[in-house]
């Protein structure tokens, strides 16, 4: 076993120990962790603060600072929740689901026999949605592989399980995804993951140009597969799972129209509760004008 594999196993064992704690305790620890990260002005705190300034320049600095603190506490909770979801048996994980909204949309899309594309924004806990979908049948997940071998090994171990097919977001991703859709299966892709240049178009997101992933729209146009938006939302002691209606505009031949509709839907989901969206990610780091500096320091 390589040292990278050992490191991945060590990380997973540590996550398992944390995941044994009751969810109420994990959330309390998460709030403390997030609050500490905020007080220490961590890298994630600075990114979140800058993102809020970019998308809400009309809000005064004191109000944005309050939002940043609340967002970081929620981020800490999400981290602890995820460690439990990654390491607990699936049956126990699924007990976190309190209600399922819009499942009729999913069933209607599956009934078309062309597979289903799930656009899963970074909102709530998307790791729980992986377990939820894999419990119902084969589920292919497109993900961005870590450049650190040990962390990548950990992520593969954490996300692997019955019915889960991990597909790295690379140039070769199209073939396994097309095969899964042809078999009538479900494919999950995060629509708000910033792609490399050449993998998307600059489309407004919260009023700012953001390099936007084109893979979902291109798959939809090529296959005619219905595209649904899905996410989980923290509620009470667990989560609600939500499936939203199909987005017809994602089949538009004009890529700008398709991606504008996609970003509009992601923004509406993020606005449900700004604390549950991943604002600790540099969503606007790649600029349309190569001569313009990144807005992040």
The answer to whether residue 84 sits within a structural domain is yes
- CA within 13 Å, CB half, 59: 15
The answer to whether residue 119 sits within a structural domain is yes
Cβ contact 155:165 at 8 Å = no
Cβ contact 281:47 at 8 Å = yes
Cβ contact 173:196 at 8 Å = no
**235-271 pLDDT tens trace:** 988 999 999 999 899 999 999 999 999 999 999 999 9
Q: Any idea what the Cα angle at residue 72 is, between residues 71 and 76, rounded to 5°? A: 120
Q: How far apart are CA 243 and CA 119, in angstroms?
A: 10
pLDDT class of 65 with cuts at 50, 70, 90:
very high
The answer to whether residue 296 sits within a structural domain is no
The answer to whether residue 281 sits within a structural domain is no
Range of the domain at 17: 3-276
Percent over 70 (pLDDT), the chain = 97
The answer to whether residue 290 sits within a structural domain is no
Tally of structural domains, the chain: 1
**37-48 pLDDT tens trace:** 999 999 999 999
The answer to whether residue 287 sits within a structural domain is no
pLDDT class of 106 with cuts at 50, 70, 90:
very high
The answer to whether residue 284 sits within a structural domain is no
pLDDT class of 151 with cuts at 50, 70, 90:
confident
Count how many residues are written for the chain: 297
The DSSP result for 166-193, as a single string, is EEESSGGGHHHHHHHHHTT-EEEE-TTS
Percent over 90 (pLDDT), the chain = 77
């Amino acid at each position: 076993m390589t040292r990278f594999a050992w490191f991945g196993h060590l990380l997973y064992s540590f996550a398992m120990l944390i995941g044994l704690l009751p969810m109420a305790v994990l959330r309390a620890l998460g709030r403390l962790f997030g609050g500490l990260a905020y007080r220490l002005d961590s890298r994630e705190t600075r990114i979140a603060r800058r993102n809020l300034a970019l998308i809400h320049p009309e809000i005064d600095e004191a109000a944005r600072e309050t939002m940043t603190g609340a967002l970081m506490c929620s981020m800490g909770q999400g981290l602890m929740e995820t460690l439990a979801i990654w390491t607990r048996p699936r049956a126990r994980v699924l007990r976190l689901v309190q209600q399922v909204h819009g499942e009729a949309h999913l069933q209607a899309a599956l009934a078309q026999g062309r597979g289903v594309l799930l656009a899963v924004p970074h909102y709530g806990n998307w790791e729980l949605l992986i377990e939820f979908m894999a419990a119902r049948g084969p589920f292919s997940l497109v993900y961005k592989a870590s450049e650190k071998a040990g962390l990548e090994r950990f992520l593969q171990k954490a996300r692997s399980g019955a019915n889960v097919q991990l597909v790295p977001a690379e140039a070769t991703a199209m073939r396994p995804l097309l095969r899964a859709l042809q078999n009538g299966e479900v494919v999950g892709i995060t629509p708000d993951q910033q792609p490399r240049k050449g993998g998307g178009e600059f489309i407004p997101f919260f009023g700012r140009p953001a390099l936007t992933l084109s893979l979902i729209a291109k798959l939809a146009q090529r296959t005619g597969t219905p595209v649904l938006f899905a996410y989980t939302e923290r509620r009470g002691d667990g989560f609600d799972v939500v499936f939203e209606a199909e987005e017809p505009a994602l089949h538009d031949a004009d890529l700008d129209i398709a991606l504008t509709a996609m970003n509009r839907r992601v923004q509406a989901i993020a606005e449900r509760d700004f604390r549950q969206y991943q604002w600790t990610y540099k969503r606007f780091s790649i600029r349309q004008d190569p001569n313009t500096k990144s807005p992040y320091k």
